[in-house]
Amino acid sequence: MNNPTTPKPQPTPTAQDSPGDRRQVAGVDTGGTFSDIILREDAPDGSSRVVIHKTLSTPEDPSRAIAQGIAHAAADLKPAASLHLIHGTTVATNALLERRGARVALVTTAGFEDLLELRRQDRPELYNFQIKREPPLVAAPQCFGLRERMAYDGEVLGALEDAEIERVLDALEVGCDGAPFEAVSVCLLHAYANPAHEQRLGRAIAARFPKMHLSLSHEVLPEFREYERASTTTINAYVGPVMARYLHALEGRVAAERIEILQSSGGRCELEFAARFPVNTVLSGPAGGVVGAFAAAEEVGMERIITFDMGGTSSDISLCDAEVPLSAHAEIGELPVDVATLDVRTVGAGGGSIAWVDAGGALRVGPRSAGALPGPACYGRGGVEPTVTDAHVYLGRVRPERFLGGEMTLQAEASRVAIEKLAAELGLEAEAVAQGILEVADANMVRAMKVISLEQGHDPRDFALVAFGGAGGLHACRLAEKIDISTVLIPRNPGLLSAQGMLNADAQRLYSETFLRPLAELLREDDASPNSLRAAVTALSQRARQDLLGPGAVEDASLRYEYSLDLRYEAQSFELNIALPGALDSGELQDPSEDFERQHERLYGYRAPGRAIEVVALRLRAFIPVERVASAQPARASAAAAFPWEDIRVGFRQGRLSAKLIARDDLAEGCEFDGPAVISEYSGTTVVEPGWSVRVSQSHLILTRPDAP
C-alpha cells in the first residue's frame, strides 16, 4: 500500500506556478488513530481547491504526523506564498489524563494549602466507602501558604508584606525533593474580586523566575468557587510547559505564516494565547466536529441536531438546539475544569475499542483501545485483539479493498481470526459475537445520547442525527432506531469533518465577571455606577476589542458581542446561563427573569414566581466571524438517477442480506434509493440499514425512515 504518512516530493516552481498571492489554509485534527488534514488553496483569481488526507497519528510527537500530512496534501497543489494552520489538539488533554504534566507549585492564601486535597467531599460512587481517588496534581509539600487576606467584596483584610513575598519566592527556588519547579499556580482567596495581591506576587515570580510558567487565578478564571478556581488554574500550570514544548515543535516542523489553535469553546485563538492559557484547549479535540456538524446541518436547513462523532478511540456526542451549546463547567478525570467548553459527552467506544470477556463471562467493549499502533487486527500492524472495526470487517460492513480509498488495504483474515478466537472463549458462533460487539458498543453510545437529550428535557424525536468521524456512518442508523430518530445526516467527507470545522471556527475570546447580587437590584442600579452591569459590559467589551483587534483599536463592525448572565434562585447552589439579546454596550438591558424561569421549568419541572433571582456572573463571547466554507465539494449534477453498484452480502441484525455497494463519488445531486446499502468513500463508510432511504442533498447524504413512528 502507499504509506499515507510519507510525504510526496514538492515540485519545483515554474514561472506560471509562482506562489504570488496564492495562499493555503489547513484544518488539522489529531485523533488517537488518524490525523486528518483538509488543505484549501485560495488562488488570486478567487478560485479555490481542496485536498483531503488522513495519516496515521504519531502519538509520541503529534507534530510529526501533521507536518507529513500537510506535505503529502500540498504535493497535489501549486506552491503557495503562505500557509495558515488551524489545529485542534489533544496534547493538553492527554498530558492531564496520563498525568504527564509539569512539576507544579501551588501558592494559596495561608490556611488554604489543602484546597486541592479537600475537594468538594463528594464521592464518584455514593455507596462505596472504600473508594480510591486520584491524588491531586500538586502534592502537599509543593503547596505554599501566603499570609494575606481579601474579603468576598475585594476589601483588604490582611495586607501582603514584601517580606512574605520573598519568603515564598525563596521556597519556590528551593524546589521539592531536590527537583526544581517548572510551573507555579497562584490562587489567593477572593482574587476574582480584587486581584491586587495576585498581581504583586505574579510580578515578583516573573522577575525571579522568567522561564517558569505562571498561572494566576484572576487571569485564568476570575470567578467565585475557590476549589474550582484553584483546580482550573493548577491544570493550566500543569499542562503549560507540555503545551509550550509541543507548540514550539509544531512551529519548527510546519512552515506556516500563522498558526491558530482551536479552543474547547469551538473558537480559534492565536498560538501565544494557547501557550499561556492551555487549559482552554483541554477539550479542543471534539470541538471542531461539533462546529463542522452544525455548519453542515445549516447547509440543508437543519437546526436541531444531535452530533455523533465516532473515531478510533472514542465517540463524542453533543446536542445543538439552533445553536452550538456552550457550558462553563467540565470535568476531566475527576478534576473540575471551569472554562467555557462545548457541551460534549465522550464515550469510550470507537472503531479501535477492544472487545473482551469480563470475569462474569459477559461481553464488553472498551474503554481500552488498540489506537493507531498496533491498531485493530485488520490493520496488520501487530494487533491481535478483536475491535469494533474488526467486527464490521467480519460482517462485510467495511470493505477492506476500499478503506481510505485503497491507500490502506485491510486484512479481513486477521479480523476473522480475532473474532473467532473471542467466539470460542464465549462459546458462541462468530457471526453472533460480531453482531454482539456492535450491540454492546451501541448500548454505550445510546446511554450518552439519552443523557444529553432526554435528561436535559429534549425529545430526540425532534432532532436529526448528524453522524461523522471515520466510524460514525457505520452506526448511525442503528443508533437512530434505538432513540426514535427518523432523520440522519452524513456530511461529505465525514471522517474529516472535525478538520473541516476548524476552517469554519470563529476567532473568539470569552470573558466573565462575578457579581453575586440580586437581579432586581442590578436592574435598578444607575448605569453610571462603577458596580453596574453597564460598567462591567463596557470593561469586558474594551478588553475584547484590545485582545481581538489589537491595542488601541477602535470599534470594528467585524467584532461581534454576545452577552449572557448566570442566574439562579436565591439560596440555590447551581445556576443557568441565560442569553441577553441586543447590544448591551449601547442598548437597554432587558429583564431576563421570564427566560430564566422558563428554562428552569424545562430542566427541573417547576418555576418559583416571586422568588428572588440572583446574578452570579456576567459572560461575554466576543468573536470575529469567518466566511463559512462549504463542508463539501458539490456532488456532480446528473439528470440520470442510475448509478453503478455491486451486489454484496452484509451482516445486519436480521442476518446476512443482499446489499448495494456504492462509491459515494458516483452519487449525483438529488439521487434517491432505498437500503440496505454500503456507501464507501475516502474518509469513512456509511451503512444504510434495511428500512432506510437515502437522498443526496447539497452533496450530503440524508437518510430517512419512511415508516418511523
Poorest-confidence range of 48-52, 67-71, 525-529? 525-529
pLDDT in tens, 553-568: 777 778 999 999 999 9
Q: Looking at the predicted structure, is the pLDDT value of residue 635 above 60? A: no
What is the model's pTM? 0.87
| Rounded-to-integer distance, Cα 237 and Cα 427, Å | 51
Q: What was the pLDDT predicted at 6?
A: 34
Q: How many CA atoms lie within 13 A of 41 on its CB side?
A: 20
Identify the residue whose cell numbers are 504526523.
65
Q: Dihedral sign, CA of 448, 453, 454, 455? A: positive
Contact status, residue 17 vs residue 79, Cβ threshold 8 Å: yes
Q: What class, spelled out in words, does domain 101-237 have in CATH?
A: alpha beta
Between residues 230 and 74, the one the model is more confident about: 230
Q: What is the CATH number of domain 507-624?
A: 3.30.1490
In sequence order, what are the beta bridge partners of 56? Answer: 34
Q: How far is CA 505 from the centre of its chain?
A: 12
Q: What was the pLDDT predicted at 632?
A: 52
Identify the band that residue 582 occupies on the pLDDT scale cut at 50, 70 and 90: low
Task: Name the helix (H) or strand (E) containing 52.
Answer: strand 48-56
Domain ranges of the chain: 101-237, 296-349+442-503, 353-438, 507-624, 646-704
Contact status, residue 462 vs residue 303, Cβ threshold 8 Å: no
Task: Name the helix (H) or strand (E) containing 700.
Answer: strand 700-704
Task: Name the helix (H) or strand (E) containing 431.
Answer: helix 430-452
Q: Give the count of beta carbons closer than 10 Å to the beta carbon of residue 426.
A: 16
Identify the band that residue 145 occupies on the pLDDT scale cut at 50, 70 and 90: very high
Contact status, residue 42 vs residue 48, Cβ threshold 8 Å: yes
Contact status, residue 104 vs residue 183, Cβ threshold 8 Å: yes
pLDDT in tens, 509-531: 999 999 999 999 998 887 778 78
Superfamily, domain 296-349+442-503: ATPase, nucleotide binding domain (3.30.420.40)
Q: Residue range 165-176: average pLDDT?
A: 94
Q: What was the pLDDT predicted at 638?
A: 53
Sort strands 156-158 and 183-187 into parallel, antiparallel or unpaired: unpaired
Q: Residue range 659-666: average pLDDT?
A: 95
Q: Looking at the predicted structure, is the pLDDT value of residue 647 above 80? A: yes
Identify the residue whose cell numbers are 485488520.
378
Between residues 66 and 373, the one the model is more confident about: 66
- Look over the chain and give the mean of its residue pLDDT values, rounded to a whole number: 90
